[in-house]
Every structure is written in C-alpha cells, then in structure tokens.
Chain A
C-alpha cells in the first residue's frame, strides 16, 4: 500500500511528573491503513492516542493531519478533532441521551446541522453498526457490545478521516467482543484509516497492515502481522507475544 500519508506523528514526548510515559514516538499513517498497537500495561498506548487528538497535550513533538498541525492548533483543535474519531474502552456514552441522540448531539452542536438532518444521519450510522432497532434506548439499557457499537457510530457520524480505538473490546464479555470486532473489520475493509490499541491478535492478524509493539514509552519494533508475530526481532517482543498467547489462546489458530 503506497497511499497518501494522512497522519504524521513525530517525536511525541509526555511525562507525568517525573515518569516519562512517552519517549519519542514517530510514525506515519497512510490512508486506509490499520495500525494495531500492542504492549504491556502502562507503556503509554492510551496516552499516545490521547496525544494524537490533544485530549492530552504532549510535552514535545508534533502531530499533523493532512499536513495541518494538530499540536499547537489553538482554537482550531475543535475542528480538527471532528476529523479524528475516538472510541474508548469504557464507551463513555452520554448517559442521559438515547442511542440516537448520542450520535446526533455533536452533529447539532458542533456541525450545526438541523435536527432533521442530524437525526437522519444518526440513524444511518446506527444502521451501519446494526443497531437501528436500539435507537431509542438509553446507554444503561444497552449491552456492552451494543454500547460500544453506538460509540463507534457516534464517532463515525462526524465523518472522521481517521479513527482511534483504545482497547475497544477489553471491557466486554468474550461473547460480545465479536460483534464489535466485526464492525471494526467492516470499517477497515471499507477503507477507514484506523489506529487500534488491542490485544485481540486474531483481529490484528486479519486486519492490521502493521503491528506496532510499544515498550516503556517507545516503539520497540513494528512490522506486518506475519513479520512481527512469526519473526519478532527482540526477545522482549517474543516474551510479550508468548504471554498474550497464554492469556488469549494460540495466536496462529485465531487467524
């Protein structure tokens, strides 16, 4: 894939107090590409995703979306964030709004669409994640898998150029992860550009163009799924993959 580069991340550093959480992260993302980030707990994967849309402001480094700087963008950040969809581990749905209103609200308040237009668009997105019949339910009335699909629809409604997923299935029961992963697979196949933090190696193997292994705030190594999984360069990567294998079953079999 030699497409256009739509997201550039350069030398991102972030410390909390005296702990350096990110220590110089750089990569490029091509249009339509899916990158999967793996690495042990506390290596800064969530922090990295939040630095991309500036929910966390990095201490150093830049992020560009379509050649426009996202870091140091001042008030423009609100416009740029619309183009960077984000899906959280805990869904973070708006508890007081129905599924449809969850998807609608930013269209109305941010994109200034009228109610009718926004409502139609919201329904369209809910259909896309297979939840048109749940449109009038509140978050507390949805299963975890349904809630996560609503949150994906909510992000998609803004027509983002890239989607960030932070462990979208790790708060779900095993039998519910499948439905969310399926939605994500469909998205990838339809050309969405995605950065996904996940330990679902089955998903990573079948969807990712690149898997990035992070360790202590740095990218230790990266490569296509077959390269990284079958031929990891570092022992540390091998160890981590073995541990994942023990936790989630044999990776090869899940393909």
Chain B
C-alpha cells in the first residue's frame, strides 16, 4: 500500500517528465536515422568508387564501436575542438549516426534485391539514374527493409537510455534520481521497465500497421 502511494505520488511525476524526453529523443532520431540509412545505402550501391568506399567505411566504423563511446566523443570530446552541443542534441546526433549505420545495412540489401530491369525501364523512359533510384528503386527497397528497420527502431527506444550518461535526463535518468534519493532501486526500475515495455509495444504496433499499410497489393514476398 505504501509502495503504491510512493509510485503514484513520488515516482510517476518525474518518470512522466523523463518519458517525454525519451519520446522526444526517439522522435527526432527516427527520421534522421532513416534518412542517414537511405543515403549511406544508396551511396554504397549506386555511388562511384569513392562514395561507395566512404559509405562502407562509415558502416564499418560505427557498427564496430560502442555507442556509448561515440556519445562521449560527441559530448565530452568535441568541445575541445570548439564544437559543443546540448546534452539532448549530442544524444540525438549519436543515435542518428548509429541508427543510420544499422538501417543502411537493411536498406542496402533491399536495394540490391529490387530487379535491375526496373532501373533499365526507368532509364529507358528518360529518367536519370538519380531519378530512377529515388522514384522507383528506393520506394520498393524501403518497403522490403521495413521489418529490419522496425527492429532497429525498437533497439533505438531501448538504447535511448544512454542519453542519461550525457546528463540528458530521460526515463532511465529520472528513475535513477528517484531511486538514489529513496533507495528503492528494485521498485523504481521495475516501474521504469514497464514504461519501456509499453513504449516498445506501442511502437511495434504502429510499425506493424505501417508494414501492412505499405504492402504492395498482389505481391507475395
């Protein structure tokens, strides 16, 4: 009973504030992560040798290093070069870089799976290579990459908690503050866990709906 009161009166209000920050982090990271993924993947598949190499290097570097290290570099390291960001901005930049690298892998595979005949047909109609990729190939590739991208978005929701390490107080950070003050780690983080579970479930539903909605009629995968 005492616990319920604690949850309602002491824990929930700061957690809701933290949740708002978490949602904002995700909300800003998803579109830019998608865009980054599309650009990197397209560069790898359709770019010239130089661009293709750079895009591949990007993926190798950011898939191969811990996100937390990247966040520290952006937030604590870059100021020594005269570039400094707010904690929130630094976190979003880190998430976008990381999410973009992973997304690009799914999108690259999907780009390669669209039949090249369609590219030929588009070019035969007078489209430039760029127009053909943007209007014909990418829209199909994005649909095929969506299940993979959905997974990455779920991961993103969970690793957004790392923003707390940059003093950006989101859901986990808000929980940590309450837990430390009242010394109720188990209870607090169980509730925080339920919050994440809800977020992930809702996101999963939305993405599932989107996948259905974007399915091309008559096409069997």
B127-A96 in contact (CB<8A): no
Per-residue interface assignment for chain A, residues 44 to 86, with 1 indicating a CB less than 8 Å from any chain B CB and 0 otherwise: 0000000001010000000000000000000000110110111
Residues from 95 to 142 in B contacting A, C-beta threshold 8 Å: 115, 117-118, 120-128, 131, 135-136, 139-140
Chain B residues in 8 Å Cβ range of A84:
124
- The stretch among A11-19, A125-133, A150-158, A243-251 that forms the contact with chain B is A150-158
Of A103-111, A182-190, A201-209, A223-231, the stretch lying at the interface with chain B is A103-111
Cβ distance B162 to chain A, nearest Cβ, rounded Å: 36
B131 to chain A: which residues have CB within 8 Å?
109-110
Mostly, the A contact residues are mixed
A138 at the interface (CB under 8 A from B): yes
| B46 to A: closest C-beta gap in Å | 16
- A88 interface residue (CB < 8 Å to B): yes
Prevailing SS type, chain B contact patch: helix
Which residues of B in the span 205-221 have a Cβ within 8 Å of any Cβ on A?
216-220
Q: Mark A143-180, 1 if CB is under 8 A from B, else 0.
A: 00000000100110010000000000000000000000
Verify B218–A53 contact, CB threshold 8 A.
no
- Beta-carbon contact of B125 and A140 below 8 Å: no
Across the interface, do A95 and B135 meet the contact criterion of CB distance under 8 Å? no
B217 interface neighbour in A105, A106, A140, Cβ under 8 Å: A140
The chain A residue with its CB closest to the CB of B135 is A109
Q: How far is the CA of A105 from the CA of B135 in the complex (A)?
A: 8
**Once the chains bind, are A95 and B118 in contact (CB under 8 Å)?**
yes
B56 at the interface (CB under 8 A from A): no
Say whether A30 faces chain B, with CB atoms less than 8 Å apart.
Answer: no
Is the C-beta of A92 less than 8 angstroms from some C-beta in chain B? yes
B121 and A78 within 8 A (CB): no
Q: Which of A78, A81, A95, A158 contacts B216 (CB 8 A)?
A: A95
Is residue B143 within 8 Å, beta carbon to beta carbon, of the partner chain?
yes
17 residue pairs A–B, Cβ–Cβ below 8 Å: A55-B124, A78-B127, A81-B124, A86-B124, A90-B117, A92-B120, A92-B121, A94-B121, A94-B136, A95-B118, A95-B216, A96-B139, A96-B143, A110-B126, A140-B220, A151-B121, A158-B125
Q: Chain A: residues with CB nearer than 8 A to chain B?
A: 53, 55, 78-79, 81-82, 84-86, 88, 90, 92-96, 105-106, 109-110, 137-141, 151, 154-155, 158
- Residues of chain B having any CB pair with chain A under 8 Å: 115, 117-118, 120-128, 131, 135-136, 139-140, 143, 216-220
Q: Which 9 A-B pairs have the closest CB atoms?
A: A140-B218, A141-B218, A92-B121, A82-B126, A106-B125, A92-B117, A86-B124, A140-B219, A81-B126
